[in-house]
Structure 1
Amino acid sequence: MQTKSNIDIAQQRQQAKLGMTVALGALVATGLLSRMQGTWTQGARTLHLCSGVALVGFSYWHLTLYQQNARMRGHSA
């Protein structure tokens, strides 16, 4: 049986994975569209940069959720 803490961590992991998926999708889409057009528009460049930063942020959040679980068990990740 999972405790409230485990359920909360599992939900946060799912949210982090969803955030990574959306950010990666936006990153790939803006990269492909700009490559097809041959030039960067200001909006596409800004969205591409923000998507990359968001991907790094969501990845870090996801990593810390797993390290927190390892620390509870007494392991180091």
Structure 2
Amino acid sequence: MPPTKSSDDITRRRGQAKLGMAVSLGALVATGLASGMRGSWTPGARTLHVCAGVALVGFSYWHVTLYEQNARMRRGHIA
């Protein structure tokens, strides 16, 4: 039987996921605005923009899975 995650651990991980979402969203907005003001993309800005978008999706997925784990734990279905 796998060990259960403590409430503090899940809360800490949720905070980390939220911080990651905020930072990646900030980078996504900043690079999007900067390219819009310039009228064109620089190679580095385009790469950062795409990576920030992928990171935002990844952090969002991680955040959702943390809530699903907690809901399963409350129902008694630890998996």
Q: Distance in 1 between matches of 2:10 and 2:73?
A: 12
Aligned pairs, number: 72
- Residue type of the alignment partner of 1:43: G
- Which ranges in structure 1 are unaligned for 5 or more consecutive residues? none
- Which ranges in structure 2 are unaligned for 5 or more consecutive residues? none
Identity %: 74
Two-structure CA RMSD over aligned residues (Å): 1.3
Match of 2:23 in 1: 22
Question: 1:67 and 2:68 equivalent?
Answer: yes
TM-score, reference length from structure 1? 0.90
Q: Distance in 2 between matches of 1:19 and 1:30?
A: 16
TM-score, reference length from structure 2? 0.88
Offset of residue 19 of structure 1: 0.2
* Structure 1 outlier segments of 4+, above 2 Å: none
Q: Distance in 2 between matches of 1:15 and 1:43?
A: 26
* Helix, strand or coil at the partner of 2:40: coil
